[in-house]
Structure 1
Amino acid sequence: MISLNATICVQVLLFLVLLFILNKKMIQPLYKVILERQNYVNDKLREFENLEKKLRDLESEYERRLQEARTEAQTARNRLKEEGIEYFRQTMADVQKMVSEMRQKVRADMEEELNRARQNLHEVAESLSYDFVERILGRRL
């Protein structure tokens, strides 16, 4: 037969107390930080998706403007061939330059924001790691 003595009961009780303390002091705060970080990352992903949508909208606007410029150029070509061709080329160059600059700016902004988020995530992870190690070791590093 298995007999339970007071030592086993005390050990089980101490183990449960330890689990409770670890849960309150370490696991729940760590879980909270992880959830906050996940929410932050999700917000940044939503921002990134919004920027991508804006970029697609700008591209469709570019396509629309491009189509308008072609129609206008064709009309001008029918009336005054030489002036129409020059106008079309100038409009195309301006629109392409503008779209190129917008794309570069949006991409640079997105990359910068992503790099900041990565750096921030790295710093938080490092801080959490040190905190976790300090709590486990019970002393400052």
Structure 2
Amino acid sequence: MFDFDLTLPLMMAQFLALVYVMNLVFYKPLTKVITDREDYVRSNTSGAQEQLDQANKLAEQYEQELADTRRQSQSTIASAQEEAQKIAQQEIAEVQKQIQAELQQAQQELEQQKQSAFQTLEGQVDTLSNQILDKLLV
């Protein structure tokens, strides 16, 4: 069935030579290209991941800064509103004091006019009562 003569070792030598040549010509360059490609993809993937991580960190930082800015602006607005309320209350208090002072002055003037009217009337009452007495006695 099988002949084990010189052709078998020759075929084995040819096969080994073919494997060696294929390894030199085809498999080593192909393996090198595949390895280089894997390294390139791996480096790009890791670089992209690093950039994505950095972008996420920047986004978080910007969000934090935005939140801080919002808090600061809200506190500034609140303090400005409080200051405006204090100023308004002070102005209202001043106006109320002025109104109270004017009201007291008006009451004093009315009291003085009342006193002067009473004094004038007392003088006229005395005069009229004297005239009435004179007319009655005459």
Question: Into which bin does the TM-score normalised by the smaller protein fall?
Answer: 0.5 to 0.7
- Alignment-derived partner of residue 10 in structure 1: 10
Structure 2 length as normaliser, TM-score?
0.54
CA RMSD of aligned residues (A): 1.5
- Give 1:30's aligned residue: 30
User: What is the rounded CA distance, in whole Å, between the counterparts of 1:2 and 1:60 in structure 2?
Assistant: 76
5+ residue gaps in structure 2?
82-138
Q: 2:59 is matched with which residue?
A: 59
Alignment of 1:1-141 (within 5 A): 2-81=2-81
Alpha-carbon distance in 1 for matches of 2:60, 2:11:
69
Q: Which has the higher contact order (CA 8 A, sep 6+)?
A: 1
1:4 shift after superposition: 0.8
Unaligned segments of structure 1, at least 5 residues = 82-141
Structure 1 runs of 4+ with >3 Å offset: none
Larger radius of gyration: 2
Number of residue pairs the alignment of both structures matches = 81
Amino acid at match of 2:68: E
One-letter amino acid of the structure 2 residue matched with residue 26 of structure 1: F
- TM-score relative to the length of structure 1: 0.53
- The residue type equivalent to 1:66 in the other structure is L
Tell me which moved more, 2-11 or 13-22: 2-11
